[in-house]
Amino acid sequence: MAGEIVKTSVPITFMYKNRVGRSLETYINGLKGKKIVGAKCPRCKKVYVPPRTVCGKCHKLLDNIIELDQQGVLKSFTVAYVNIINGEIKDTQEPYVIGLIKLKGASSLLSAVIKASSPGAVKTGMKVRAVWKDTTRGDYNDLAYFEPV
């Protein structure tokens, strides 16, 4: 009857080049100029950051792009002791902080890395500000992290 369990290894590898869409293009172009932009819903006035294309609640196009303040309040955070890479959970070299930030003027929360003197120095409710790479290239990493004000 049954002996050893036999398995075939079946990797799936395929590469997509997803067009990010106009909203994120606007956001990424903003990052290149060290600006954070959001999109305001003409109906409910909610300000989404990064800009979304459509407000789900109102079913309206969000084509009103506005520049946001680069300071905000940390609403929630987690200290990451692991990274998930290719589906595997691996220890980080150093723990780092992932936070949800409410920028002044925004309604939604922006996720970002928070860098303080140590992860223990990060507190919910603290004021944080954006820190940029010296040279921006027009990608998400231009906005390097947020730090306490």
Partner 1 sequence: MEKVALVGYKQTKHTFESPVARERIIYELVKSLYKDMGITKDDIDTFILASNDFTDGRTISEVFTVPRIGAYMKDETKVEADGLNAALYAYMRILSGLYNTALVIGFSMSGSEFRVPLTQAYTMDPAYERPRALINYYSAAALQAGAYMKKYRFTEEDLAALTVKNLENANNNPYSARKEPDASVDKVLGSKLLYTPIRQAHVSAYADGACAVVLSSKKMARKFTDKPVWIDGVGHLMDTYYIGDRDLLKMDSLAGAAKKAYKMAGIKNPRKEIDLAELHTNFASEEPVFTEAMGLFKPGSAKDVVKNGESRIGGSIPVNPSGGPLGANPVNATGLIRLAEASAQLRKEAGKNQIKGAKTAVVHAQDGPGAQSNTVFVIRR
Question: Which residues form the interface with partner 1 (CB under 8 A)?
Answer: 2, 5, 7, 10, 12, 16, 18-21, 24, 48-50, 52, 56-57, 75-84, 86-89, 98, 100, 108-113, 124, 140
Non-local CB neighbours of 130 within 8 Å, separated by 6+ positions: 36, 70, 71, 143, 146
| Smallest distance, partner 1 to C-beta of residue 112, A | 7
Closest Cα partner for 68 from 112, 35, 117, 109?
A: 35
| Smallest distance, partner 1 to C-beta of residue 93, A | 15
Question: Which CB atom, from 61 or from 109, has the smaller least distance to partner 1?
Answer: 109
Question: Which CB atom, from 87 or from 134, has the smaller least distance to partner 1?
Answer: 87
Determine the Cα–Cα distance for residues 78 and 95; give it in Å rounded to an integer.
Answer: 10
| Smallest distance, partner 1 to C-beta of residue 129, A | 18
Closest Cα partner for 70 from 4, 141, 6, 132?
A: 132
